[in-house]
Structure 1
Amino acid sequence: MSKVKVLTPRKVPLTAETDNYFTSSKSSSYSDRSEDISASSEESESESYSESTTNSSEITTSSTDKEQSDSSQDNSESEESNEKVNENSLDEDTKKLENLISFPVAGTEFTVDQKYKYRKKIGQGAYGIVISAKDKTTKDMVAIKKIIGVFDRLTDAKRTLREIKLLKHFNHDNILCLKDVMVPPVKEKFSSVYLVTELLATDLRQIINSEQDLTEDHVRYFLYQILCALKYLHSGNVIHRDLKPGNILLNENCDLKVCDFGLARFSDPEEENPLLTQYVATRWYRSPEIILGWGEYTSSIDVWSAGCIFGEILNRTPLFPGKDFMHQIELIIKIVGKPSKKEIKTIQNKRARSFMKSLPNKKKADFSKIFSTSSEEALDLLNKMLQFNPKNRITVDEALKHPFLEPLFDSDDIQLCQENFDFSFEKDKLTKKKLRNLIYDEITEFVENKNIPKNDNL
């Protein structure tokens, strides 16, 4: 396969996106714009590291979850009252430590191991700033993400803890690898976390929006790697829940890695009450069952997102760029068709069910006209991935063995997660103080287990 040349993507308009038509609970989100490129509205609700990243806080549409979060935050205020620290004073303490170097990046101070030589800023968003750097000991280029204000909100702290734990747990060629973590200088005071990962040249969103020629071989290879990553995640009972082009990193050889696991959740089909909540992921790639509150959802939501990405690569434009929830569903129906009356009856949310009934009947669109340059095999797989009813949607295993991917399929590529990820910490009542201790413990454990040289003064 020919290499993908990295090009600068064209500008994408920014629009607001903070609504949820089918739920009454309030949600809050915020997003930043990269200095290098405008971010599209579908990027406004979650985060990834890349030159064009736009980030936001995790949005909760479950009133129960929100009440628990608010209650935990209120209870933790007294515990945190004596922990407020002058950031400048903390930075000064950090600078005095041996083997560390500090430098300014976009108005914030980066303090990392002196073995890392700063190159440039490659991303900025609400969750923090990402830079590229050279590891002088290995000569490798890395990405360093500084997550700022980790404990400003409980959801931010939970997301940080979740991502660190998941990145530590995963070991797959198509999943971003955590290489290093900076140990906070003071356990009781730190408010930022530094994650060091592999550095890739670009992300799939930039490639899609560039003038780079993409053959069907490129599309096949991208999709195959995404599905291999999903097979690994799902085998460990993990649902990504925020799969989108901006969360898929690429290098010049078309090697692909999935990143950003802050919204990931546990999924076990054998468990009666799986720990799943209706957190809002990025709308354009959100499955119908999430939008409509269909009920319990499964790993098939990742298959839907992968199908949306598949179609977007084929046409070089998003399939369902909804302006709001109702518009999102209308766009989906226009292409995949309206579900049957029997299927609509299974939607648990009454408001969503009434909305679906009110929509005009629509048959599935002719994919060969929408994707006029794509092969029959590609369109057959796309159709099976974009089934409105999750029960009719193709599984990851079936997709990997589909004729479209047959030229690439190799059973040796299918890696399974050796141990299921433990999400039990999500069930605990987590205060800011407890989350601070848990994050610190995760970081120090990673450093010890990976045999990363640790500063004795930290």
Structure 2
Amino acid sequence: MATYNSNIMSNVFQKNDSINVDIKASIPKHKKSSSTLNSKKKKVITSDMAYQDNENNLDYVLNKSMDDSASKRNSLNKKKEMKLYPKYGFKVSPNYTIKEVIGKGSYGTVAAAVETSYGAQVAIKKVTNIFTRDILLKRAIRELKFMRYFKGHKNIVNLLDLEIVFDKTYDGLYCYQEMIDYDLARVIHSSVQLSEFHIQSFFYQIMCGLKYIHSADVIHRDLKPGNILCSIQGTLKICDFGLARGINEDLFEKIRSETGKQSHITSYVATRWYRAPELMLCRKKYNKAVDIWACGCILAEFYGRKPIFMGNDQMHQIVEILKVLGTPKSETIMKYGSSVAVEIFSIPKPQYGKMPWKTIYPFACDKGLDLIEKMLKWDPDQRLDCDQVLNHGFFKDVRNEKEESVCPYGAFDFEYEQHVTDMNDLTKLLFKEVEEFKKMKANIYV
């Protein structure tokens, strides 16, 4: 969901030690402060803090009665006075003042706000209707777990606080996040000129964030410019983990051996224009290569200033890819293992030749085009992985290997999903996530 809005950017980026974006934004500019709430002389523990999910307590949590959940709901809503904003349908903690709504999507609304104690600008994302459908509740829980797991990486959006509200018209999960000035779509589709240096720097940050995510055996599954935020200083942050998924093979095997069930991951993910072909052409298990495809599309979009594959529906999307990449080789078609792929690509259907990238983007540097070429492959096994992308010569002028960290907590554990089977269990688990986050937050300040 594209969550951040702005008016047209007026000036050109300046190439210097830090990339700055000069804009006339519709959001009022407040006194400059840190994007987190740690800016007013509070000592913060900077050493790595081990991620604790307390999964050993999961059975205890899930076995609590719904009466207990009801009492929690009452205590959550009564423990402190909340500010009401009927105009926006928001009910927020008293130390936040909402300025305006800056984004809306199918899963919720985002408002710009100020934390009054410190003056920090924040974004409050209200996820709605989560208690009406289990799929929405599952998505909210996943997003919270991933944001806790990846908290602290400079290229992943930071979660500051959480609230659950049950009052009618205001109900939902409220996620308080650091405020980032724009989403990347707004930057790319503006009139601001982007030099090779800017494209390299921006794309490098995206890949550093993705390497961290992939190192935990997690795929984002919805990477696109609208889900990457950009600050005025030129810092990029990946957001919106609602469709993300853990894919560790050892965990899949453990679940299979314990339950006898084959874990299934849906192929109906990713926004169509950034959706890898294997998601549309077959039902086989996919992997991290779907994120690499999406990033290849984003890199191409930096040069073309519009999405490269703009299909009106799934079939049209395949045709748009065909026009550029040409008809895939027969062995790739067979690899898809689907009658749909054979029907689409085989004679007598039209056969397409590959279009040279230099023809599409004549002003792009050769290394940039080479990287696009190696990320946008019909065959997912032939695409570069994150490390290979970061090692590419395209990043020679911007690379800093110290920025290319991996998640220190190892593979993300998604085994909890096997223990939650209904709305009651999911609701309790959501409470647990909010409580665990608040405990972790309380321990940060010393």
Structure 1 equivalent of residue 119 of structure 2: 139
1:266: Cα distance to partner?
A: 1.6
Q: Aligned pair count?
A: 373
> What secondary structure is seen at the aligned counterpart in 1 of 2:174?
strand
Letter in 1 for 2:195: T
Alignment of 1:39-188 (within 5 A): 97-106=79-88, 108=89, 110-171=90-151, 172-184=153-165
CA contact (8 A) 1:143 1:196 kept: yes
Match of 2:384 in 1: 394
Aligned pairs for 1:264-303 (under 5 A) are 264-268=244-248, 276-293=265-282, 295-303=284-292
RMSD after superposition: 2.7
Deviation at 1:396, TM superposition (A): 1.0
Q: Residues 109-145 of structure 1: CA distance to partner in whole angstroms, max 9, x if unpaired?
A: x221111121111112222211111112222111011
Q: Which aligned pairs between 1:207-246 and structure 2 lie closer than 5 A?
A: 207-246=187-226
Specify the SS of the correspondent of 2:103: strand
Structure 2 Cα separation of the partners of residues 306 and 191 of structure 1: 35
Deviation string 1:173-230 (CA, Å, 9 cap, x unpaired) is 10011110125579xxx95111000100110111122111111111111110110011
Deviation at 1:429, TM superposition (A): 4.6
Aligned residue runs from structure 1 range 430-445, under 5 A: 430-445=421-436
Counterpart position of 1:311 = 300
Using the alignment, how far apart are the partners of 1:301 and 1:185 within structure 2?
37
Asked whether the 8 Å contact 2:374–2:383 carries over to 1, the reply is yes
**What amino acid is aligned across from residue 82 of structure 2 in structure 1?**
L
Distance 1:294 1:385, change over 3 A: farther
CA-to-aligned-CA distance 1:56-95 (integer Å, 9 cap, x gap): xxxxxxxxxxxxxxxxxxxxxxx99xx99xxxxx99x987
In 2: Cα distance, 1:4 partner to 1:318 partner: 22
Give the partner amino acid of 2:366: E
Letter of the aligned partner of 1:104 in structure 2? P
Would you say 1:416 and 2:406 are equivalent positions?
yes
Kept in 1, the 8 Å contact 2:98–2:112? The answer is yes
Which AA in structure 2 matches 1:177? N
Residue of structure 2 in register with 1:13 after alignment? none
Q: Which amino acid aligns with 2:433?
A: E
* Structure 2 residue 405 is the aligned partner of structure 1 residue 405: no
- Deviation by residue 1:365-385 (Cα, 9 ceiling, x = unmatched): 111111011011110111111
Q: In the alignment, which residue of structure 1 is the partner of 2:11?
A: none
Report the Cα distance in structure 1 between the residues aligned to 2:161 and 2:180, rounded to whole angstroms.
16
In structure 2, the CA distance between the partners of 1:320 and 1:134, relative to structure 1 (3 Å rule), is same
- Secondary structure of 2:100's aligned partner: strand
* Preserved contact between residue 94 and residue 111 of structure 1 (Cα < 8 Å): no
Correspondence for 1:451: 442
Instruction: Determine the C-alpha separation between the residues in 1 that align with 2:107 and 2:331.
Output: 43
**Bigger CA drift: 428-437 or 215-224?**
428-437
Q: Tell me the amino acid that sits aligned with residue 288 of structure 1.
A: P
Unaligned runs of 5+ in 2: 1-14, 27-64, 254-261
1:377 is matched with 367
Task: Tell whether the 8 Å contact from 1:131 to 1:143 is kept in structure 2 after alignment.
Answer: yes
Q: Pick closer, same or farther for the CA change 1:363–1:178 going to 2, 3 Å.
A: same
1:365-421 Cα shifts (integer Å, max 9, x gaps) = 111111011011110111111111111111111110111111111210111111221
Residue 310 of structure 2 aligns to a residue whose secondary structure is coil
Go from structure 1 to structure 2 and tell me whether the alpha carbon gap of 1:96 and 1:154 turns closer, same or farther (over 3 Å shift): closer
Q: Is the 8 A contact 2:122 2:177 kept in 1?
A: yes
1:164 and 1:442 in contact (8 A); partners too: yes
Say if 2:91 and 2:165, in contact at 8 Å, map to a contact too: no
Gaps of 5+ in 1: 10-78, 85-89, 454-458
CA distance in structure 2 between the aligned counterparts of 1:360 and 1:401, rounded to whole angstroms: 37
Distance 2:364 2:287 in 1: 29
Check whether the contact 2:248–2:412 (CA below 8 A) recurs between aligned residues: no
Retained in 2: the 8 A contact 1:6–1:201? no
| Partners of 1:424 and 1:367 in 2: CA distance | 43
Measure, in 1, the Cα distance between the counterparts of 2:77 and 2:97: 16
1:206 aligns with 2:183: no
Whether 2:352 is the aligned partner of 1:362: answer yes
SS state of the match for residue 399, structure 2? Answer: coil
**In structure 2, C-alpha distance between the alignment counterparts of 1:152 and 1:99, rounded to whole Å:** 26
Contact 1:294 1:346 (8 Å CA) reproduced: no
Structure 1 residue 345 corresponds to structure 2 residue 326: no
C-alpha separation in 2, matches of 1:352 and 1:105: 50
SS in 1 for 2:86: strand
- Give the letter aligned to residue 437 of structure 1: K
Q: What TM-score do the two structures reach when normalised by structure 1?
A: 0.76
Distance 1:198 1:363, change over 3 A: same
Distance 1:103 1:331 in 2: 45
